[in-house]
Chain A
């Protein structure tokens, strides 16, 4: 008897009360609400999509003789002119996304305490972090496009003084066979773009969550589970970036 009571007490997390009709349906075996479960399974399917992209990337990269060195391709920094700072800017982007994720965790924690102002405060910083990340990515894309990087044509090759681009040859109007992996740009823009799209949707959803909190929608509901679901999505975006960072910049 004591055991049964203990289980009943334990299993109440943010669940809609279901009538005890004797069929056993009132117990959720996983002790997690329907909405959060479905968010998790959506994220699992999304993880497969990203994994497929990254595994395709790895397969192509392994198959090639030569691949542009990420330390040479991704070495530009805003406001630093022509100084070459390998990994610098992308490290800042990584840090921004981690911090944004942390801010949203704090919002979720304040939600557990029904602290409306706390949720709004931390959601605000989380949204700002996401927007900053998108701005950084826009700058990086713009820089790489200006260097001549294109989806279906590789401009990077190993010159006498290290990595250089075919940009000059373009200007002279002499077509040249792309020396490296043709898909380099397609993979980079495709995968970071798909991740950026997730960041963008995450920021939009978080902005909605911020205003819904301000409206008192969740306070009226009696729980901030929606913020938890938004948080799950947002942390997933951070999680994917860990692997995009690994595949494109570190390896």
Chain B
């Protein structure tokens, strides 16, 4: 992102890049939905859910990197946004473990 006038080639490359990411996002979404409809009823959740999660995180990286232009910002700025997200790792693990425990507890009661 700079204030120098973009050359026609640079502009065209940027536009092409955006449409490429659009196609990637659409394909990943279609694959996710197709997997949910075709494989979902037959395969256990512990296989399907990580697959959906990884595909969604990949989509998130494309949106943040290309659409929100973070890929082209300074590394220190990326880190200032990315490092705080590690708190979420704790939250996901802690609450996931607790949820699993509650699930087992329910079976114990009955």
Indicate whether A and B interact.
Answer: yes
Spell out A's residues near B (CB within 8 Å): 10, 12-14, 29-32, 37, 40-41, 44, 47-48, 51-52, 55-56, 58-65, 71, 86-87, 91, 94-95, 98-99, 101-102, 105-106, 109, 112-113, 223, 228, 231-232, 235-236, 238-239, 242-243, 245-246, 249-251
Q: Quick check: A242 and B67 within 8 Å, CB to CB?
A: no
C-alpha spacing A12/B80, complex, angstroms? 21
CA distance A51 to B91 in the complex (A): 9
Report whether B63 and A29 are in contact in the complex, using a CB–CB cutoff of 8 Å: no
A35 to chain B, nearest CB (A): 13
Q: With contacts A112-B6, A238-B63, A239-B60 known, is A91 near B29, CB below 8 A? A: yes
Q: Is the CB of B56 within 8 A of A242?
A: yes
Q: Is the interface of A mostly helix, strand, loop or mixed?
A: helix
Contacts of A243 in B (CB 8 A): 56, 60
Partner of A238, one of B49, B67, B77: B67
Which chain B residue lies CB-closest to A29? B76
B100/A62 in contact, CB under 8 A: yes
Of the A-B pairs whose beta carbons lie under 8 Å apart in the complex, a sample of 5, sorted by A's number, is A58-B96, A58-B99, A106-B18, A109-B18, A242-B56
Complex Cα distance, B25 from A238, in Å, reads: 11
**1/0 contact string of B46-64 vs chain A (CB within 8 Å):** 0011001100100110011
